[in-house]
């Protein structure tokens, strides 16, 4: 516990010292947040105003012992540093502070990727995401073009959110399960990296329509992708409900929302598709990750795939998900990174290490 506390206090002081931001992040989902008074506040800050912009009633602080678990199980210093940065930002519990992140690199890459627009294709609007344009990413090393926005290109194809250095990286002939296919950007990423098959869980109509359009745009990759039009869950054949909110859609109990969907767990899907191996399971499914992992126990035990799991949708994801993975297969090594200057896109990477037996 001592090292975790020491590193946390150091990082806390550093983030406070850097101060509050004066404008919303380029990654902000809520672009209507009013930051107009922050500059004045920074000039004349006092205890009362500080409390307004820094909520000390933080679940992260109240349960600090639980959040130490992942730190103690991370396998390299880079992951530990990034985890401390991310955890500290969560304890600040405020939209007026940025998590440490190389925004200069993002701005530089954004200028670069804007050159890759293919103006032959019209732009389209996607639910929640907004305007998408076609980018040809051949100059980035991917033989793929797709409707996406510049930030999506940066996170998926430049920073490579679903890769961790050379420790977890999609290789030729890999078989991938992509839970939360959304607009098809990640399926195309895995396919362009050389995956021979990508099983994509996606059931939201607006996302499916766009994903199918993306695949038609990439005929050489289309046959690699198999869409699973179900919700991934712990159990199969369960009726759930949802509303179509594009990338931000999530499921609820039967009849809670206006539309219904049936579930299929990963173990049943792998059997149904007669998959002979699974090399990677990726999950970004709006808080359903824990349940989906429970439904993948047999697959994990049999194939020991790499895991790239989003752990930011629920506040306890940072410890409940790694604990569950270790319960399923203790021989996994853990790594961590995040890909925005806020609370979004935090990733847990798990790599099977037979030396841990």
- Helix/strand/coil (H/E/C) assignment for every residue in 226-251: EEECCECCCCCCCEEEECCCHHHCCE
Using CA atoms, how far residue 266 sits from 18, 56, 148, 351, in Å, is 44, 40, 28, 18
> Rounded to an integer, what distance in angstroms lies between the CA atom of residue 156 and that of residue 152?
6
Phi, psi (rounded to 5 degrees) for 256: -70, -35
| CB half-sphere exposure, 67, CA atoms < 13 A | 24
CB atoms near residue 287 (< 10 Å): 13
The pLDDT assigned to 182 comes to 92
DSSP notation for 135-178 = EE-GGGT---EEEE-HHHHIIIIIS-TT-BTTTB---TT-EEEE
> Rounded to an integer, what distance in angstroms lies between the CA atom of residue 232 and that of residue 269?
9
Q: Which two tokens stand for residue 320?
A: 């409940």
Of the candidates 322, 279, 28, the one whose C-alpha atom is nearest the C-alpha of residue 163 is 279
Domains defined for the chain, CATH in brackets? 2-92 (no CATH), 161-310 (3.40.50.150)
The pLDDT assigned to 42 comes to 55
Q: Are β-strands 306-310 and 259-262 bridged in parallel, bridged antiparallel, or unpaired?
A: unpaired
Q: Which two tokens stand for residue 324?
A: 């569950």
The pLDDT assigned to 6 comes to 95
- The answer to whether the beta carbons of residues 126 and 245 sit under 8 Å apart is no
- pLDDT (tens, 9 = 90+) of the chain, 357 residues, equals 579 999 999 999 999 888 777 667 777 655 455 555 555 555 555 545 555 566 777 899 999 999 999 999 999 999 999 999 999 999 998 878 889 999 889 999 999 999 999 999 999 988 777 899 999 999 999 999 999 999 999 999 999 999 999 999 999 999 999 999 999 999 999 999 999 999 999 999 989 999 999 999 999 999 999 999 999 999 999 999 888 776 667 677 777 877 899 999 999 999 999 999 999 999 999 899 999 999 999 999 999 999 999 999 999 999 999 999 999 999 999 999 999 998 899 999 999 998 877
> Rounded to an integer, what distance in angstroms lies between the CA atom of residue 126 and that of residue 58?
34
- The answer to whether the beta carbons of residues 335 and 167 sit under 8 Å apart is yes
Angle at 185 between CA 224 and CA 332, to 5 degrees: 80
Of the candidates 249, 190, 197, 254, the one whose C-alpha atom is nearest the C-alpha of residue 223 is 197
């Amino acid at each position: 516990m001592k090292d975790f506390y020491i590193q946390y206090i150091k990082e806390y002081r550093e983030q406070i010292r850097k101060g509050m931001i004066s404008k919303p992040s380029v990654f902000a989902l809520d672009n209507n947040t009013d930051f107009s008074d922050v500059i004045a506040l920074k000039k004349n800050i006092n205890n009362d105003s500080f409390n307004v912009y820094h909520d000390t009633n933080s679940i992260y602080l109240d349960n600090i012992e639980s959040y130490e678990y992942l730190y103690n199980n991370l396998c390299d210093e880079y992951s530990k540093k990034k985890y401390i940065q991310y955890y500290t930002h969560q304890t600040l519990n405020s939209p007026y502070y940025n998590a440490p992140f190389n925004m200069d690199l993002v701005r530089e890459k954004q200028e670069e990727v804007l050159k890759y627009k293919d103006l032959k294709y019209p732009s389209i609007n996607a639910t929640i995401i907004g305007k998408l344009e076609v980018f040809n990413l051949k100059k980035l090393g991917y033989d793929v073009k797709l409707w996406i926005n510049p930030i999506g290109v940066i996170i998926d194809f430049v920073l490579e959110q679903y890769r961790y250095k050379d420790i977890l990286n999609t290789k030729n002939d890999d078989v991938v399960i992509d839970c939360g296919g959304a607009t098809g950007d990640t399926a195309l990423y895995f396919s362009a990296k050389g995956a021979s098959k990508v099983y994509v869980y996606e059931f939201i109509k607006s996302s499916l329509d766009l994903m199918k359009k993306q695949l038609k745009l990439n005929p050489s990759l289309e046959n690699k992708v198999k869409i699973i039009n179900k919700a991934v869950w712990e159990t199969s054949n369960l009726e759930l409900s949802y509303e179509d909110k594009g990338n931000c859609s999530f499921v609820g109990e039967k009849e809670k929302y206006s539309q219904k969907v049936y579930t299929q767990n990963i173990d049943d899907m792998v059997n149904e598709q007669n998959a002979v191996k699974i090399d990677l399971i990726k999950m970004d499914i709006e808080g359903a990750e824990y349940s989906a992992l429970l439904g993948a126990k047999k697959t994990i035990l049999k194939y020991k795939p790499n895991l790239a799991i989003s752990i930011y949708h629920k506040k306890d994801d940072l410890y409940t998900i790694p604990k569950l993975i270790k319960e399923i297969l203790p021989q996994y090594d853990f790594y961590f990174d995040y890909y925005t200057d806020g609370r979004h896109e935090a990733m847990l990477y798990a790599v099977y290490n037979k030396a841990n037996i």
